[in-house]
Amino acid sequence: MGFKLAIDGPAASGKSTISARLAKELGWEHIDTGSMYRAVTLIALEKKINLENESEYSFVKDLDIKYHKGRILVDGRDVSKEIREPIVNENVSLVSSFPSVRRELVTLQKKAASVGNVIVDGRDIGTVVMPEADLKIFLIASVDERTRRRYLDFINSGKVVDLNKVKEDLQIRDKKDSTRKESPLIKADDAILLDTSDLSIDETIEAIIKLINDKRGE
Ligand code: CDP
């Protein structure tokens, strides 16, 4: 049996960056579940379905969605870049609120997480996808720090964005993710809260590795 690490938290709290770096350092598998909800959102936009209508998402069960080493593939097509577009950010919380969409993706995620040492990041990992995880971390950071990080992500990928708009989008998404009926963003009772507002990426990784080692030594 491998070690199962669940990392949950609000938008731009650093889950994906930290999980990817940790996975590389430890040689573990990483599954970024947010990228799967983003991929479904992208395809729904391309198909021009009525995004508000849950019954139009029946296409999801026929999609072949794979996440591996930082790339997300849908039916063999690499959509890693497109899923970070603002239009996807704006719609992903709506798409991920539908129980039927979540059911399909959670089944996929549980299966992907069932082999060896794995880090899974998202919103409902400690509560729904891997309630049996060996270690659960709930990563948070102040809204201003999260805004700064997401703003820099956009700037570094060559996009022109307004800082206030980035902040507003994060807050809207947090609110939707935390208040939805189905699997809302919530800290599992047994998750460890880690505030990264004043921590660098390296410091965060160090803190998590220490928690993993403590857990293994128990
Ligand atoms: O990277 P960022 O925190 O901005 O978002 P993400 O992890 O890529 O997730 C994008 C969106 O997918 C979230 O805002 C949620 O609406 C949804 N999501 C979810 O509902 N459940 C998950 N396990 C992961 C993401």
DSSP-derived secondary structure for 106-133: HHHHHHHTTSSSEEEEESSIIIII-TT-
**What band does 68 get if pLDDT is binned at 50, 70 and 90?**
confident
Q: How far is the CA of 23 from the centre of ligand 1 (A)?
A: 19
Q: How far is the CA of 68 from the centre of ligand 1 (A)?
A: 17
Please give the Cα distance from 12 to 143 (Å, whole number): 9
Give the position, in ligand 1's atom list, of the atom nearest the Cα of 170: 4
The domain limits of the chain are 4-213
Give the position, in ligand 1's atom list, of the atom nearest the Cα of 176: 16
Fold classification of 4-213 is Rossmann fold (3.40.50)
Q: Whose CA is nearest to atom 4 of ligand 1?
A: 11
Q: Whose CA is nearest to atom 25 of ligand 1?
A: 34
Report the mean per-residue pLDDT for the chain. Answer: 95
Angle at 34 between CA 19 and CA 157, to 5 degrees: 75
Q: How far is the CA of 143 from the centre of ligand 1 (A)?
A: 16
Give the position, in ligand 1's atom list, of the atom nearest the Cα of 16: 1
Q: What is the pLDDT of residues 167-199, one digit of tens each?
A: 999 999 999 999 999 989 999 999 999 999 999
Comparing CA positions, the residue from 152, 122, 146, 121 lying closest to residue 199 is 146
Residue 79 near residue 40, CB atoms below 8 Å: no
Residue 145 near residue 157, CB atoms below 8 Å: no
Q: Report whether pLDDT(147) > 90.
A: yes
- Ligand 1 pocket mutation pick from 37, 51, 148 by most atoms within 8 angstroms of CB: 37
User: Strand 135-140 and strand 4-8: pairing?
Assistant: parallel
Instruction: Give this prediction's pTM.
Output: 0.93
For residue 154, count CB atoms less than 10 angstroms from its CB and return exposed for 0-12, middle for 13-18, buried for 19 or more. middle
Q: Whose CA is nearest to atom 1 of ligand 1?
A: 12
User: Strand 118-122 and strand 135-140: pairing?
Assistant: unpaired
Residues enclosing ligand 1, CB less than 6 A? 11-12, 15-16, 33-35, 37-38, 92-93, 96, 122-124, 173, 177
Q: Report whether pLDDT(1) > 80.
A: no
Residue-level length of the chain: 218
Q: How far is the CA of 149 from the centre of ligand 1 (A)?
A: 16
- Mean predicted confidence (pLDDT) in 58-66: 97
